Structure 1
Amino acid sequence: MSRGTSWRLALRLARRDALRNRGRSILVLVMIALPVLAVTAADVVIQTQDVNGVESLDRRMGSAADALVTVEAQGAPVIQFFDPWDGSGTTGDQGAGRPPTTEQLSAALGGARLVEMRRGDANVRTDDGVGYLAGTEVDLDDPLADGLFDLNAGRWPADTDEVVVNQAMLDQGYALGDVLDLTEDEAPAPTIVGIAESAELRTTPAAAGPIGSLGLGHREDDGYPPSWLAGGGPVSWEQVRAANALGATVVSRAVVTDPPSASELPDEMQGWGGSTDDQMVAVVVLVVAMALLEVVLLAGPAFAVTARRQSRTLALMAATGGTPAQSRRVVIGGGVVLGSVAALLGVVLGIGVAWLLLPVLQHWSNAWFGPFEVPWLHLVGIALFGLLSAVLAAVVPAWIASRQDVVAVLAGRRADKRPSLRSPILGVVLLGIGIAGSAYGATASSSGEFAIAGSAVIAVIGMIFLVPIVVVAVARLAGRLPLSPRYAARDAARHRTRTVPAVAAVAATVAGVVALGIAVTSDEAQNRETYRPELPAGMGSVSAYVDEGPVDWTQLRAAVADKLPDAHLVPVHGLIESSTDDAPSYWLEIKARDTDEPDRLLDSYGTSWGASTLVGESTLEDLPIEMTDADREAALRMLRAGGVVAFTDQGVETDHLQLDLHEYSPDSSDDDVTTLSVPAVMVPVALGNAGPQAILSTEAAKRLGAPTGVSGLVVSGPISRAQEEAVSEALAAADTSSSFYVERGYQTDNETMIVQLVLAALGGVLMLGGTLTATFLALSDARPDLATLSAVGASPRRRRWVAASYALVIGFVGAVLGAAVGFIPGVAITYPLTSGYSEATAGHYLDVPWLMILGLVVVLPLLTALIVGLTARSRLPLVARLD
């Protein structure tokens, strides 16, 4: 029989076997299709939410304009990539020339018609004070502006006293027909005549109207240079380069959609965008390898059971002259048939799941997703990944089936051969390599994460080779256990071809989750331990910057009191460092006395109390600055004596300090320095201090000539988040330079919380699903054994206990093995991950998520056993056994 004929026969037998055993086939399909479905859905969602340059054109310039022209260099020539979003820059001094006129720009673009468009930010009054909006000024009735906004209600503005706003602006308290209350001096007061959603912004408040309706003007200093929409025909790359020579960048629809050869880029930009991130490629390859291994292990028990069911057929084939290769092809053919169907099914369902998920995910995004995008080339690779996983999962069962004892199988004996010594030796070697690689990665100066990640894969593979020995050892240690778990452990060791892949699948899942869990929680522990609160927990502070004149603290205090009537407000007195444009600014430098190179007192300090240097004896009495009682008494005595209290996290000890007050004048590039030597008390603080650097006595501040005054307000707590937002808007209404901060201690960011939840959920689902599936497949294969139990008088309850015990053996042994192996890369990765870049963050941090590990190792195996015990069949047909 030729090889081609042999494969056709194998595939035909596999198809018939799959149809004959639909239940087992469905389980195999689920195990292979689920990962394919998940990866497909994730890929489609990522591709859809990722808006590339071509897809963003309608958002930037509308659907009708041929180009968007922006003057950024005040006449200096510029160079740009085909899409200036990918890169641009000047080739001369910015501002060296005059901005081009619209006539010059139109001529450079082949006589294009230009429609001016202004974009910028504006402040608008809200119910609680002042909020922010993104403004666009353009003639929305002009055909070139089509697509920038989508009108949902009302009408387009007809004059400069009318605007449209989006739903996010309505959520700030406005409605159709209201006047938009802009806060800038001499700002217009347009009426809202329509509700229109921006093509780009979804949750950011936005407004649009004719030129002048929002008072934006040309505000290059705010990062919004003048721009124009261009129409009249496609803009070529040559025309783009002509506009570049005038100092304008151009987003050309024709160029971005169909870019020229990279050789036509300016010499300075040759090679841009062509580099490959080798580290990213390494990570992708690692993730794919781990995912492939996971799917292979999950699908392995299914094909082991399939091969067991076909053992008599294969034995008859061998007895009549069939070769081992033909026997292997029959089992592998099952992987090809089921893998093909599962891959196709997973891709189709994944596209559907992504389509259903997009509206839900869009709710959590601040920007609009792009058009629904199905990356067919990616999905072909994902489908081939699923097929390859199925084939690889069938390879080991096929190899074992081709070497089975034909006589024993035809006689009805089913026990596996004794495990070979070569496998555990190889497993120990691979595990040792994994441990050594992890140790190297933990101490490597660079790229340690990649060495640890690669070693993790090697360690998991080594663990798989050790699973047969562990299963046999568990069976031998089970002699003192009750009947049901003892029977389950020994039966699992007797039929290792179905047990080993199931245990290995659970172990690999737990190892990955434990390793990532330790890494995430240790990184979080470092962030938590190195966090330095700026204020006592629950307390707030108000700060403001001197801009056009002195800060009106009375007005700011009234704004806070209006929103927090029960709060206690304390003014903070400090050194006023900032100033107006026509007045000097100051900076205080504090040095240890009588040293050629003064010791550094602090690694860092901040302005959490409104200033980096506080002033006045009442400061320690009014503000809850953290220090010991002894230090507080010494500090009070020093301040009353006219000295200085300085803070140090460097262990500096001295009784005198040198104060250098630097004065910077707007009319001079040099600074004047006033020096004063004063007695001092040093107060130790934690490394990474976020508080002030010192407290000057009133006398010392006067002798130094330092400008002092109210630098902030301290607000007693507790303060809710809603109150914090209301106070912030009220302060902005009183002074746009003011800000409000509430100390809430270290807060885990949303991304970290999501990662932790996903890890726990993913580990639980994979472990629970894999254990249940493998257990039910094993129980299906063990039906003759369970029938024998019934024949010798076992009750239905006993058979349920045996089924539950089998699930417990698979889940518990796999979880313990996985947790032990996962600790190796998990602990190792914490060294490069938590290594600090400064003295404040130096050190190694290790935080083991014991609760999650306890759930994986104890709770989930017990839950799996409970589910199996409740759902397993208790009454089975009697089947004769010869062994």
Structure 2
Amino acid sequence: MLRARGRSILVLFMIALPVLAVTAASVVQATADVSSLEGVERTMGSAQARVHPTGGSAVLQAPDPGSGMWTQTGSGEASTSAELAEALGGRDFITIADGHANIPLGDRRVTALATEVDLSSPLAEGLFDLRVGELPARPGEAVVNDAFAERGVAIGDALEVLGHDVTVVGIGRDAEHRKELTVISPPGSFGDHFTGDRVAPDWLVGGDPVLWSDVLALNELGALVHSRAVLTDPPPVVEMAERMGYDTGRGLYITVAALVITMALLEVVLLAGPAFAVGARRQARNLALMAASGGTPRQARRVVLASGIVLGGLAALIGAVLGVPLGFVLLPVVQRFSNAWFGPDDVNWLVVSIVAAFGLLSALLAAVVPAWLASRQDVVAVLSGRRGDPPPSPRTPVLGVLLLGAGIGLSVAGVRRGHLFNFYEAGQYAIAFGAVVSVFGMIFIVPLVVTLLARLSGSLPLVMRYAARDAARHRTRTVPAIAAVAATVAGVVALGIANTSDEKQNRETYTRSLPMDTGLINIYPTESMDGSASVPPSQQTWDRAQAIVRAQAPEIDTELVEGLRFASDANAFVHVSLSVPSAQMLLSGWGGTLGSDLLVGEVVPGFLEVDDEGGARAALQAGKAVVLTDHPVNLDEVTLTMERWDGEGDETASTSSLTWPAHFVETDAEMPPTQAIIPAAFAAELDRPVETVALYLGGEISKDQEQAIREEITGLDANAYLIVERGYETPDEIFILLLVLFTLGGVLMLGGTLTATFLALSDARPDLATLSAVGAAPRSRRGVAASYALVVGFVGGVLGALVGFIPGVAITYPLTGSAGQSCSSGADGMLVCESAGPFLDIPWLLILGLVVALPLLTAAIVGLTARSRLPLVTRLT
């Protein structure tokens, strides 16, 4: 090991680097992952429990309802506050309510978390860390977090929260939210009936610990409970699984973890394998002398395996020891990208130990094949100076083909999961397991591929022929390198196909809501968090919005759109539908951009794409309703039905119908925003208010104009928003993901190829010396180096791409096959639906880059950096 320091350092680097990276990542993850017990003070301060009255029936919850595991049973009635207080056994409590609010800041509005709680109470200690100023002592005072201060808010400033002014008296750190704007005031500051985003305020309960039996009693009264005592000492998982009626999920978790660990371990083993193969070859003469002196094959294997244990153990120790402090150094960097505060510095020593153990195991496994081959070497051939591996066993490629067939079979079974599996996820895991099996099958086929390539290289130039045949002669170092490259390419290709196919589904199932490059401004009615009725925007607000558009984009035509509001009020909501006597379905779908199903006017708005706009305009002027359809309808009347439901939505309070002359027009829009345009006379018969429901921007809007208009109308009204139809736009994250995949694949390919190439050059020094002695030019060594890199990179890339197609194509079926159905009305008015998936899109540019461009680039790098002259060594004779 000391005599071959360069090779030893290479092995240490390849094994220690992943151990160091995973160890550092585990430290960051353990610190960033704040458990419910670690974060108990963030949600309940110093209280023993936080009780959330759901306002409904009995609750079934897990010990940690913050994980999302809770439901209502549907039995029993909502309890009163007195009943909850009685169940708490006289414990003292304070209320806490939080919800989101739009708060004006200058000419802008920001969304902030508004909380009402008495911070002066001992039960609230820990919810807020005051940095400057004082805690609020009375309603109308507030503290804000540092995120507000970064936006210019200072002590003494007034904030308008839900229509109520509060004065900032303190600034500090919110216990839970780092970047989200937070304002906290005593109860009563945001209105007499402020409940936040819930039906009633939560309770912070003090006194004695709230045990699991107390939690169950409160659950029967319809309350959800976060208990400090239960989080500290929860009931057994199996007991909770039986009570909640769900699986513990450990089986799938173990399956996923096993697949990930297997592939990661395989990659490290394949990358480190060539180094141990070269090391075993360097020891071949010593091992042959040992065998000639009476040594056994087992002893020869132990010699090679011992180097794996020593190097692997040292690399694992270095990676683990350096990974922990590296994780702590990275914490401030990672914290910048998180909206929540990290927990206390934490190291999961079990995970660190497992990672280090896998580092040692990977080195040991990487030395297994070289050790086995070293124990079976021909002693006479080695002592006489002949080199080369024995011919590959004919059983090896047969096993590889069988494994490939099994991998393909598992992928097909995963696609047809409905026939072979009882639940949806099983198909995806079958495909993933099939991918791992296929990679193992490919590894067993690599020796045969390398041998065939050597036999077919007779017509190639000398340096290419030498590289191909040398790779076949020394398969123990060539096969792991090619397999490592192939495994990397297979993973990147599979993920790339899945990603681009998913993006194709998104692109082809996208539904336009407006003509291209036009816009629509909508302003929703203002909803009050204290339960009062919503208030629609005034006409003055719409006029100001129109003025904003004209100021920012004077060349754009604007059109105020009027319609009937069927919005819900406090006690009821209204459903409206259009029908014809033949019971034909007029539209397969509508809505999404307007606040009305019925528009009112004498012209067809510009954003409605209809075939007969002139006929529709004439019909409106004649007092007829213009009804949109997606198929021909030859009728002259339509029936409008209004159903008024009670506030609970359980029963119909009233139903009324009205038949009116109509003109039916076809629309090309996949999802028209409304059902019909009706004249004013028809609207008057419906006894519903006619209001402005949207502002249409009928010209091409640039992105700069869009941004300027959006900022100004948001400042005008917090409920205003602008949509501009740009068609489907691929998110930046997709390009970033493909770039990351290509970069990761390129780095691993480059690392594996360079490692194998320079090890091969080191091993081939006697051969290269012989070439020089018989007249080969100095540049021949550069050519051999570049050719060897090309053989490893190209063969690995082609094999990896072929194997990657298996899971890549298969995963598109469960991934994009559930895209839903595309439905339209047929000629008879009946709904006709077709499956919208699966979708398949091959990222050819990514694949060509990995299979062709990267091997050529690697070969060029190796050819330019390899030394053309070497010190004189003993030539092979």
TM-score by length of 1: 0.87
Shift of 1:770: 1.4
Matched, 1:177 2:156: yes
Q: How does 1:138-537 map to 2 (within 5 A)?
A: 138-184=117-163, 187=164, 189-212=165-188, 214-215=189-190, 217-220=192-195, 222-223=197-198, 225-232=200-207, 234-238=209-213, 240=215, 249-259=224-234, 270=243, 275-445=248-418, 446=424, 447-537=426-516
Cα shift readout 1:164-208 (whole Å, capped 9, x = no counterpart): 111222344422331123341xx2x33222221211112211112
1:692: which partner in 2?
A: 674
CA distance in 2, matches of 1:774, 1:315: 25
For the residues of structure 1 that align with 2:100 and 2:667, how far apart are their CA atoms? 45
1:376 Cα offset (Å):
1.7
Unaligned runs of 5+ in 1: 1-17
Contact 2:627 2:663 in 1 (8 A): no
Counterpart residue identity of residue 42, structure 1: A
Q: 1:864 to 1:91 in 2, by over 3 A?
A: closer
Per mean C-alpha deviation after superposition, the further-off stretch among 765-774 and 509-518 is: 765-774
Match of 1:56 in 2: 39
Superposition pairs for residues 736-747 of structure 1, below 5 Å? 736=719, 738-747=720-729
Distance 1:210 1:787, change over 3 A: same
Match of 1:839 in 2: 821
Q: 1:174 to 1:659 in 2, by over 3 A?
A: farther
CA distance in 1, matches of 2:645, 2:215: 41
Is residue 42–residue 175 contact of structure 2 (8 Å, CA) maintained in 1?
Answer: yes
Whether contact under 8 Å (1:449, 1:829) holds in the other structure is yes
1:554 and 2:540 aligned: yes
Aligned residues: 841
User: How far apart, in 1, do the equivalents of 2:550 and 2:282 lie?
Assistant: 75
- Preserved CA contact (<8 Å) 1:118 1:217: no
Q: Give the AA of the match of 1:31.
A: M
Partner residue, 1:780: 762
Contact 1:116 1:228 in 2 (8 A): yes
- What does 1:456-855 align with in structure 2 at a 5 Å threshold? 456-545=435-524, 548-559=534-545, 561-562=547-548, 565-567=551-553, 568=556, 570-579=558-567, 581=569, 587-591=575-579, 593-594=581-582, 598-620=583-605, 623-626=606-609, 631-632=612-613, 635-636=616-617, 646-648=627-629, 652-656=631-635, 659-665=638-644, 669-676=653-660, 678-686=662-670, 689=671, 691-696=673-678, 708-715=690-697, 716=699, 717-720=701-704, 722-723=707-708, 725-733=710-718, 736=719, 738-749=720-731, 752-840=734-822, 842-855=836-849
Post-superposition Cα deviations, 1:703-738, rounded to whole Å, max 9, x if no partner, equal: 8887644321123522447436523532425xx4x4
SS at the partner of 2:159? Answer: coil
Secondary structure of the corresponding residue to residue 606 of structure 1: coil
One-letter amino acid matched to 2:63: F
Distance change (3 Å), C-alpha of 1:217 and 1:475 = farther
| d(CA) in 2 for partners of 1:264, 1:513 | 42
- 8 A contact 1:427–1:466 mirrored in 2: yes
Distance 1:437 1:691 in 2: 45
Deviation of 1:243 after TM superposition, in Å, equals 5.6
1:564-607: CA deviations, max 9, x gaps? 7233463343541424638986544344653xxx3434432224
Task: Tell me the equivalent position of 1:862.
Answer: 856
Q: Secondary structure at the match of 1:555?
A: helix
Specify the SS of the correspondent of 1:125: strand
Q: How does 1:82-101 map to 2 (within 5 A)?
A: 82-85=63-66, 87=69, 96-100=78-82
- One-letter amino acid of the structure 1 residue matched with residue 66 of structure 2: W
* Cα separation, 1, equivalents of 2:629 and 2:331: 53
In the TM superposition, what is the alpha-carbon distance from 1:20 to its structure 2 partner? 2.5
Worse-superposed segment, 255-264 or 30-39: 255-264
Aligned-pair Cα RMSD in Å: 3.3
User: For residue 865 of structure 2, what is the amino acid of its counterpart?
Assistant: T
Residue 515 (structure 1) shift: 1.0
* Inter-partner Cα distance in structure 2 for 1:350 and 1:604: 56
| Contact 1:577–1:585 (Cα < 8 Å) also in 2 | no
Which residue identity lines up with residue 27 of structure 1 in the other structure?
Answer: L
- Aligned residue identity for 1:309: R
Conserved 8 A contact 2:565-2:688: no
Counterpart position of 2:47:
65
Deviates more, 1:433-442 or 1:544-553: 544-553
**Alignment partner for residue 865 of structure 2, among 858, 861, 871?**
871
Equivalent position amino acid for 1:429 in 2: L
CA apart distance, 1:401:
1.4
Give me the whole-angstrom Cα distance separating, in 1, the residues matched to 2:224 and 2:122. 22
CA deviations on 1:62-99 (whole Å, 9 max, x unpaired) are: 2x33333444448x876654344355566787765531
Maintained 8 Å contact 1:133/1:206: yes
Superposed CA deviations along residues 826-855 of structure 1, whole A, max 9, x for unmatched, are 122212221134223613311111121121
Segment drifting more, 478-487 vs 690-699? 690-699
Distance 1:156 1:550 in 2: 37
Q: Secondary structure at the match of 1:589?
A: strand
| TM superposition shift of 1:461 | 1.7
Q: Bigger shift: 513-522 or 797-806?
A: 797-806
Q: Structure 2: where are the runs of 5+ without partners?
A: 419-423, 526-532, 647-651, 823-834
Moved more, 122-131 or 465-474: 122-131
1:643 to partner: Cα distance: 5.3
What TM-score, normalized to structure 2? 0.88
The match for 2:5 is: 22
Contact 2:789 2:862 in 1 (8 A): yes
* Amino acid aligned to 1:618: V
- Structure 1 residues 209, 703: closer, same or farther in 2, change over 3 A? closer
Task: Find the aligned partners of 2:221 and 2:571 in 1 and give their Cα distance.
Answer: 38
Which digits, 9 at most, give the CA deviation of each residue in 1:515-563, with x for residues without a partner?
Answer: 1110111011101111112223443322234564553133134146347
Query: Is the CA contact (8 Å cut-off) linking 2:15 and 2:268 kept in structure 1?
Result: yes
Preserved CA contact (<8 Å) 2:108 2:714: yes
Q: Distance in 2 between matches of 1:587 and 1:117?
A: 36
The answer to whether the 8 Å contact 1:571/1:714 transfers is: yes
Once the two structures are overlaid, the 10-residue window that deviates more, 511-520 or 48-57, is 48-57
Q: 1:823 to 1:657 in 2, by over 3 A?
A: farther
Determine helix, strand or coil for the equivalent of 2:50.
Answer: strand
One-letter amino acid of the counterpart of residue 318, structure 1: A
How far apart are the structure 2 equivalents of 1:73 and 1:392?
59
Structure 2 CA distance for partners of 1:768 and 1:152, relative to 1, 3 Å: farther
Range 201-210 or range 561-570, more displaced: 561-570
Give the Cα–Cα distance (whole angstroms) in 1 for the partners of residues 857 and 171 of structure 2: 53
Q: What SS is found at the alignment partner of 2:190?
A: coil
- Matched with 2:826 is none
> Could you say which residue in structure 1 is the equivalent of 2:825?
none
